[in-house]
Structure 1
Amino acid sequence: MKRNLYTLLAIVLWAMANPVLASNPDLLKGANAIINQEEKVFTVHSLSKGTTYIKRVVTIFNEGGKDHAKLYVHHDKLNKVDFIKGTSYDRNGKKIKSLKNSEIRNVSASSADNEVLDNRIMIAELTHQVYPYKVEFEYQTTTSNMLFYPNWVPLNNSKTSIAKATFQVKMPKGMKLRYRESNLSQGVKQENTATHDVYNWEITNMTPMDSEPYAPSMIELLPMVRTAPSDFEVQGYKGNMDTWEAYGKWINQLNEGRDALPEATKAKLQAMVAGIDDPIEKINKVYHYLQSNTRYVSIQLGLGGWQPFEASFVDSKGYGDCKALTNYTKAMLQAVGIPSIYALVNGGSNEREVLTDFPSSQFNHVILCVPTKQDTVWLECTSQFESAGYSGSFTGDRHALLITKDGGKLVKTQAYTAKDNLQSRMATVKLDETGNGVAQVQTRYTGIAHEDHLDPIHHLSPEEQRKWLYRSIGIPAFDLKSFSFDLKKGRMPEVNEKLELSLRQCVTVSGKRMFLTPNLMNRWTTLPQNTGTRKYDVVRSSAYTNVDTIVYEMPAGFALEFKPNDQAFDTEFGRFESKVNIDGRQVTYIRTLQMHKGRFKPEVYATMVAFMNDVYKADQQQVVFVKNIQ
């Protein structure tokens, strides 16, 4: 406690001596650190070369800000580190230490066994145990990968303030800079020299950002400048990025001539689909062949980060990254008369949406688009287990860039609605007088709702599956007697789960009464806070439907004393309905909850919390039985 007070006093005294903070003390409120100065300069030398210089001075107030004392600089074959310097100072401005080159670690960026990368990370650290203290880092990198111009995100931590941060881009005369500004109080200031057009941005006196439940992603809210080239060159491949069409043409250059298959393989594929007329069946055959004969390995070597290995390489080696496996699948489908389209996408359940109005390299994954007369089939070519045509949470409902023969074209991948993402449960529970019971539970999961089961089904042993179920089942006290999973592949895959459970104290017994909470496995147990005045939009990123039907057989000798009223709430966020029916000793509980995804105005947040609170209360309602006294 004394140490914390001493640290706080030191921060106050330090702030009083700092003219910027003395005039704007709000910079200290809620901040773990303050960026005193950040200077970022990107200089374009040519279509194929540029340098980035960064100097950052940060004062760190507590443990929560110590990440600022660490510097991570990525490098690879196309990006070189010219120098790294660093110095730390104590609260009185006295130098603690200067960074030595021998103290800079150079480690591989690879974190998995199936990665082959030339990406590495230089790590410099100047942590200190007495707060506050100041660190100063300065470094420069040179790149020959001009597909990417840098983004400027000076505030990348919600608990950080900025006294001053600047960003400058120097473009040779005659070369065009493309940029997109977000959440800036003032835009670019442009100046010219004899040799360069110079673009300048500045942020001053920015306080920490508030967090809110269900807010948009931080990347959408932070001040940012995105930059991108017009004309560029990477390892001899020249391109233009003014439009998605032009960018797609550059990708076509990289892919040209890399889809040739050995004649023996083409003959094997053609024999495999002989006599099949249905294109969907042909696609499924080829996709199954891909999954049975290849495996995914992430290979990022030089231009290999964007250029696929030849189809013949994958055919002979049996492995490849997303680009290579997609290109290989495209070649195999072509061999059996099915045209398809290579497509760039952002893969991941929480990946940012593509900025459609700013053509640039915004993608991290490649999939295959197979148009048919009936529908469009999307193929995830890196998975040995995925269903053909299922995009799910990894690549579904987002923009993808089709690399057509005429260039790039943005389209949306398949969206999955609340009805698609279904969890439908049917359970029967037989109770005894002590409140214990035996339950038979069958649950059907479809669409995105089935995805949580995929890893346990494919990668866990039966005993590990059992442990996973114990962690996953939302019942306070139970024994798992038996279980089974049945996975059905398809465009809308599903998992059917069967459980036999022995329930302990499923019903509360108090004197002659039994208190039954009929929602057995799907109660809401937490609620978002009502934060008062809302600043940001409300974003719900998931849509699903839950249907629970639970039939209880009460023990003999008990009569109904209280039954809760049926509940129904219908809002723009979702719909809830619950019913309890009593027929002698049989209690039937039916609960339906459908939640929508969407973006809503800040002022409706309180309404959403009220709806969730209504659902929470309805889930806790009880049926009361009383024992007949003879």
Structure 2
Amino acid sequence: MRLILTLSLLILFIHTALADETPSSEIINSVSHRQVKDGKLTVSDTLTIQINNRDGDDHAEILIPYSKGDKLSIGDAWIEDMSGNIIRKLKGKEILDRSFISNISLYEDDFVKEFELKHNQYPYKIVYSYKMTFNKFFQIASYDYRNKSRKIRNSTIIVETTEDQPIKYKQKNINNPKIETTAKTIRYIWQFSYDPLKGEVNASINNSKAPLLEIIPLHFTYGVSGSLENWQTFGNWVYRLNAGKDILPESETKKIDELLNGVKNDREKAKILYRYLQDYNRYINVKLNVGGLQTHSAEYVAINRYGDCKALTNYMQAILKYAGIKSYYTLINADDRVEDIDPDFASQAFNHVILTIPFGNDTTFLECTSNNLPFGYIHASIQNRKALLISEKNSRLITTPAQSPKDVLCNRNIITRLNTDNSARTEILITQRGVEYEAANYISTNINKNTVDKYIRNNILEGSFDLINFNFIKASRDSAKIQLQVECKMHSLYKKFGNNISITPYSLKIPYYENADKRIQDVQIDLPQYYEDSLVYEIPNATINKTPPNVQIITPYGHYLLQFEAKDNQFSVYKSILIKAGNYPLAEYGKFHEFIQQLRNLEIKNYYIEVL
């Protein structure tokens, strides 16, 4: 997975709670039979989907993905009315078989069979079945409904195995399976239903009430033989899968020798090689055979100058190894939400690879897919979570550092010169850190005035204004901050009533949270939000006589400080807002919500001053 920094990283993602409205479609019944036998996994699924209105027609388009080497066959499929009368059966020629390549890939071994069963009278039902055989697998089933929006009235999962092919499973919000044992087989049967969840801001993903079930084989062969007995055995399998992929061509070793000539310090060597990686290689996904898990060789990257997260990380590890620096290939789940990793249940819980370099007591983590992040920068998608460090015989879970408030502190220095027509000339210097830095840094590499204008309006400055000029100021490439100079003309910024002036504040966007009596989920905030503003307003032809009272709010969830000063015709405002990262149970949500509401109310409250 590549680190893709876009404006969407600045938007708080909406997560889950119970929905009341009639669903556009729902799964009436789902039966999945999964047989583990002779080293193969055979999946036989039958589903009945009910389409309730036109908005549900998208779910009448059925896609069944598979990979090269898997055997997939589509069984009977038809449309029926609510009385069970068959309206139309699927014909074989209606099934399309095509490549399922993603938009970030050069090539993949993934395919999809798809068909469409739509009707013009609602509601109606779709019934279909398929069978798929996997010759290699290390996962039997994975059901995670934490972000799913479709209702399931009944789902049955049946796993059939033998004593010599044991399985492991983890479940949440699902009843224990019924276990049936015969002379030759063991059958596990789970049943559950699911009511979809509606949006709640920053609902806890780790304490979700949605069903979750993961079933894995204890032993498997996927490329090479492996075991999911624990994290060490799984990590050791990853090591063996990628063994021998670190050989570099002679042309590459000569280049490394040139780059490191005269350099003695290992950290400085690593920094030089990381910049070399960034400057001469790019991210492209290529997935073949076991390519979703197995890396391409370092030689492949050295010749082609591209690779996915696995290949680029393996290449970086290889050039460090040649330079005599030890590093570790490290699996991680890169996402804007921090998902718990169960230390007692090893599985393929990751979607990304980074590199870990121990420098004495200081450990450095490298994101090898980015061309512009600083050396050792821990970005928002990998901070504060468990990762699997891969070693030949001692693979283990580690924890990446968390971004602290000082790491994400964003500053705005704003000078505003009020005009007599209620407009104002405004000069702003913004310093961005943390996730705000990541987005601004990405935008600054592809500067487009419309994109920058939208970014400023959505994330820096509210109200009516005309953007006159802007300029990004980058520090050194190893600095985890970026500055943006903005010049604009504000409209309707203030109103004058005799000797009193009402000034519209430069508000910061504080997320809206549900009222305490409506909330049903715990709160999970993975990143702190920390802002400081220094504002100066120059009032024409006036001397300021009176300013608003200062404000100070300090709680376990963060703080809000607002201080005012006046000198001659200058009105100064200092503001500091901190919303801490944390997990807050529903029992204390009322106090948390009260704090957030205070921030929201203060941020939209006008400043009233008195002038002479």
| Length-normalised TM-score, structure 2 | 0.91
Query: What is residue 17 of structure 1 aligned with on the other side?
Result: none
Post-superposition offset of 1:97: 1.3
2 CA distance for matches of 1:623 and 1:469? 23
Which position in structure 2 is the counterpart of 1:624? 608
Query: For the structure 1 residues 155 and 494, does the alpha-carbon distance in structure 2 shift closer, same or farther, using more than 3 Å as the test?
Result: closer
Q: 1:610 aligns with which of 578, 584, 594?
A: 594
**Aligned residue number for residue 529 of structure 1:** 514
Identity of aligned residues (%): 26
2:129 corresponds to which residue?
Answer: 138
* CA RMSD between the two structures: 2.5
Give yes or no for the alignment of 1:221 onto 2:206: no
Q: Which residue matches 2:311? A: 324
Aligned to 1:5: none
CA distance 1:531–1:482, shift in 2 (3 Å) = same
Q: State how far apart, in whole Å, the 2-side matches of 1:464 and 1:569 are.
A: 36
**Alignment-derived partner of residue 86 in structure 1:** 77
Structure 2 counterpart of 1:8: none
Aligned residues of 2:313 and 2:354 also touching (Cα < 8 A)? yes
Q: Contact between 2:117 and 2:126, CA under 8 Å: does it hold in 1?
A: yes
Q: Is the 8 A contact 1:247 1:359 kept in 2?
A: yes
> Counterparts in 2 of 1:280-291, with a 5 A limit?
280-291=267-278
Which segments of 5 or more consecutive residues in structure 2 lack a partner in the other structure?
1-17
State the secondary structure of the residue aligned to 1:394: coil
Paired residue type of 1:551: V
Alignment map for 1:186-205 (pairs within 5 Å): 186-203=175-192
Query: 1:11-48: per-residue Cα shift (whole Å, max 9, x none)?
Result: xxxxxxxxxxxxxxx9997444443321111111233x
Q: Deviations over 1:196-254 (max 9, x none)?
A: 111111125x544455333123994321221111110124x111110111111111111
Which of 116, 121, 124 does residue 112 from structure 2 map onto?
A: 121
Q: Deviations over 1:484-532 (max 9, x none)?
A: 1122356661001111122222112456643113x325254x6222050
Structure-2 separation of matches of 1:330 and 1:516: 56
Q: 1:41 aligns with which of 20, 33, 42?
A: 33
Match of 2:582 among 586, 598, 602: 598
Alpha-carbon distance change, 544 to 523 in structure 1, aligned in 2, over 3 angstroms: closer
The structure-2 alpha-carbon separation of the partners of 1:273 and 1:208, relative to structure 1 and needing over 3 Å to count, comes to closer
Secondary structure, in 3 states, of the residue corresponding to 1:580? strand
Q: Given the alignment of the two structures, is residue 549 of structure 1 paired with residue 529 of structure 2, yes or no?
A: no
CA separation of 1:391/1:585 partners in 2, compared to 1, >3 Å: closer, same or farther? same
Q: Where do 1:22-171 residues align within 5 Å?
A: 30-47=22-39, 49-112=40-103, 114-153=105-144, 157-158=148-149, 160-162=151-153, 164-171=154-161
Pick from 206, 213, 218 the counterpart of residue 230 of structure 1.
Answer: 218
Counterparts in 2 of 1:485-496, with a 5 A limit? Answer: 485-489=472-476, 493-496=480-483
Aligned pairs, how many? Answer: 595
CA gap 1:379/1:187 in 2 versus in 1, 3 angstroms: same
SS of structure 1 residue aligned to 2:589: helix
What amino acid does structure 2 have at the position aligned with 1:572? P
Q: Which residue of the partner structure matches residue 524 of structure 2?
A: 539
What are structure 1's unaligned runs of at least 5 residues? Answer: 1-25
- Give the letter for the 1:578 counterpart: L
Query: In 2, Cα distance between the equivalents of 1:278 and 1:249?
Result: 31
Q: What code does the residue aligned with 1:231 have?
A: H
Asked whether the 8 Å contact 1:543–1:594 carries over to 2, the reply is yes
Q: 1:155 to 1:472 in 2, by over 3 A?
A: closer
Q: Which amino acid aligns with 1:256?
A: A
Measure, in 1, the Cα distance between the counterparts of 2:595 and 2:20: 37
Q: Which entry has the higher C-alpha Rg, 1 or 2? A: 1
Is the 8 Å Cα contact of residues 446 and 492 (structure 1) preserved in structure 2?
A: no
- Structure scoring higher RCO (CA < 8 A, sep ≥ 6) equals 2
What's the secondary structure of 1:328's corresponding residue?
helix
Give the match for residue 338 of structure 1.
325
In structure 2, do the counterparts of structure 1 residues 625 and 238 end up closer, same or farther at CA, with 3 Å as the change threshold? closer
C-alpha spacing 1:208/1:407, structure 2 compared with 1 (3 Å): same
Q: Secondary structure at the match of 1:450?
A: helix
Task: Determine if contact 2:285/2:307 at 8 Å carries over to the other structure.
Answer: yes
TM-score (normalizing by structure 1): 0.89
- What corresponds to 1:350 in structure 2? 337
Provide the rounded CA distance (Å) in 2 between the counterparts of 1:147 and 1:602: 37
Q: Which of 550, 565, 570 is the aligned partner of 1:566?
A: 550
CA distance in 2, matches of 1:557, 1:533: 48
Are the aligned partners of 1:240 and 1:246 in contact in 2 as well (CA < 8 Å)? Answer: yes
Give the secondary structure class of the aligned counterpart of 2:233.
helix
